[in-house]
Amino acid sequence: MLTIWGRKTSSNVQALMWCVGELDLPYRRHDLGHHFGGLDIDTFKQLNPNQTIPVLQDGDTPPIWETGAILRYLAAQYGEGTFWPQDPVQRAEVDMWAEWAKINVAMTFTVPVFWRVMRTAPSARDETAISAAASALESRLTIADSKLAQSQFISGPDLTLADIQLGHILFRYYDIGIPRAPLKHIRRYYDDLSQRRAFQEHVMISYDDLKVT
C-alpha cells in the first residue's frame, strides 16, 4: 500500500496521483500543505526535511520526496512495457522528455503564469509580466507541438512517464484566462488525455481554493 502526503490541488501531487491512477495502485493520501498546514510538524519533517509535498512511502520502505524521484520509483517498481522501458536507449528517450517537461513546461508555467494569474489578487497582477511569461511558455510548448505532430504521445505511440510530467500542466493551462496560440497538436494531445479516467480523477479537479480575489 502506498502512503502519500500532499493536498490534491498541488500540481506536483496531481502528477504523482495521475501516475498512481494509470498504474492502478492502491493508496491512501493525507491532505497537507496550503490551508491544511502540517508541513512544519515534527512528524512530517522526519519524512521530508525540506517540508515540501509530495512525499511517498511504499509499505515499510523509506519515504521518498521530490516529484521526479517519486515518479521514477513508481515507474521502475510498477510500470510495465512501454511506460518505463527496460531498454536503456528507449528509457533515456522517455526520461529525456520527462525532464524536459518538468524544467521547460511545469516550471515555466506554475509560478510565472499560474501563480501570477490565480494566486495573485486581480488588483495586484502584473499583466505585462503574465504576457511575457505566457509567451516564454508558448515557445517551449511549440517544441512539444512539433513532436506531437509525429506521435500520439510525447515520446512515441504509447503513454509513458514523460506524459505524466508534461500532461498534468495542460488542464490548468487551458482553463485559466490567458492568451494561447493555436497549437493544434498540443490541443489534440490534451483532448486525448482528458478522456483518460485517471487524468479526469486526479488532474481535472477544481483549484478554487487556490484563487486569490
Residues 1-40 pLDDT 10s: 999 999 999 999 999 999 999 999 999 999 999 889 999 9
- The pLDDT tens digits of the residues spanning 167-189 come to 999 999 999 999 898 999 999 99
What is the number of alpha carbons within 13 Å of residue 25 lying toward its C-beta? 25
Residue 179: its pLDDT value, please?
87
pTM of the complete model? 0.95
Architecture of the structural domain at 82-202: Up-down Bundle (1.20)
Q: Any idea which residue has 492568451 for its cell?
A: 179
Instruction: Please report the pLDDT score of residue 49 as a whole number.
Output: 97
Q: How does the average pLDDT of the chain come out, rounded?
A: 96
pLDDT the model gives residue 36: 92
The full set of domain ranges for the chain reads 2-79, 82-202
Integer angstrom CA distances of residue 25 from 17, 78, 95, 128, 150:
10, 8, 21, 43, 31
| Model confidence at 78: pLDDT above 90 | yes
pLDDT at 213 over 90: no
* Distance of alpha carbon 206 from alpha carbon 213, whole angstroms: 16
Q: How do residues 118-172 score in pLDDT, each as one tens digit?
A: 989 999 999 999 999 999 999 999 999 999 999 999 999 999 999 999 999 999 9
The model's pLDDT over 81-121, given as tens digits with 9 standing for 90+, comes to 999 999 999 999 999 999 999 999 999 999 999 999 998 99
CATH class of 2-79: alpha beta
pLDDT of 80 reads 87
